[in-house]
Amino acid sequence: MAEWQPSTQAEAALRDALRGGDQDRYFHILSQLELLLPVPPEGQGAGGWGTWTADHRTHVLAFTSVEAMYACLAQNAGSARKVPYLRLAEQWPNHEWWLAINPGLPIEGYLPAWFIAQLAEQVRAELTRQQPPDPRQGPQNGAATRSRAERLEALTRAQAGAPDPASRQQTAADAFGARPQRPPLPEG
């Protein structure tokens, strides 16, 4: 078999992060991806969770590209569904199962369920910080109550490389040196 090569920019970034010993970067990149989850052929097996058991541990199989899936599963590769990392974390089927990403490839990763949830929570917190407050919401609601659809939309926008409107406004302010100033307090 020929030496594996990344087939996407994300796979190259994952490889570079691991080569550089930067696990935080690896997990950050992973959390931004849509993963491919193998599904059993129609009529064989129930549910949509392709699993693999090793060392008495069940793993949900996930891949970063079709090429990675075929490199790992060879003739056993078949249909797959795309799932954003956050959605996968929300739908995690069993707290004892682990996530196996690209098993056997140089960019493989194995995550326990608690870490999957922790990483998803970090991503949600990051999305919340990036979201400007909605002036129509009262102070008790704030950005922390963003709907799941809004978070997924922001994640999709980030994955597509589209700039976040909030960051675009800040960039323009930075370019012109404009910073919001507090009005002076009344004397007295």
DSSP annotation string for 109-141: EEEEHHHHHHHHHHHHHHHHHHSPPPTTS-TTT
* Token pair for 25: 């970067």
Residues 186 and 169: their CA atoms lie apart, in Å, by 30
pLDDT in the model for residue 150: 60
pLDDT in the model for residue 152: 57
Digit-by-digit pLDDT tens for the chain (188 residues) are 568 899 999 999 999 999 999 999 999 999 999 999 998 766 555 566 888 888 899 999 999 999 999 999 888 888 889 999 999 999 999 999 999 999 999 999 999 999 999 999 998 888 888 877 666 765 555 444 455 556 555 655 555 555 444 443 333 333 333 333 334 444 54
C-alpha dihedral sign at 12, 16, 18, 24: negative
pLDDT in the model for residue 77: 83
60 pairs with which residues across the strands?
51, 99
pLDDT in the model for residue 44: 57
pLDDT in the model for residue 47: 61
> 10 Å Cβ neighbour count for 185?
6
pLDDT in the model for residue 121: 92
CA torsion angle 151 155 161 163 (round to 10): 20
| Strands (DSSP E) found in the chain | 34-38, 51-54, 57-62, 80-84, 98-101, 109-112
Q: Where are the domains of the chain?
A: 9-120
Percent composition of the chain: helix, strand, coil (DSSP 3-state, to 5): 45, 15, 40
Which architecture does CATH list for 9-120?
A: 3-Layer(aba) Sandwich (3.40)
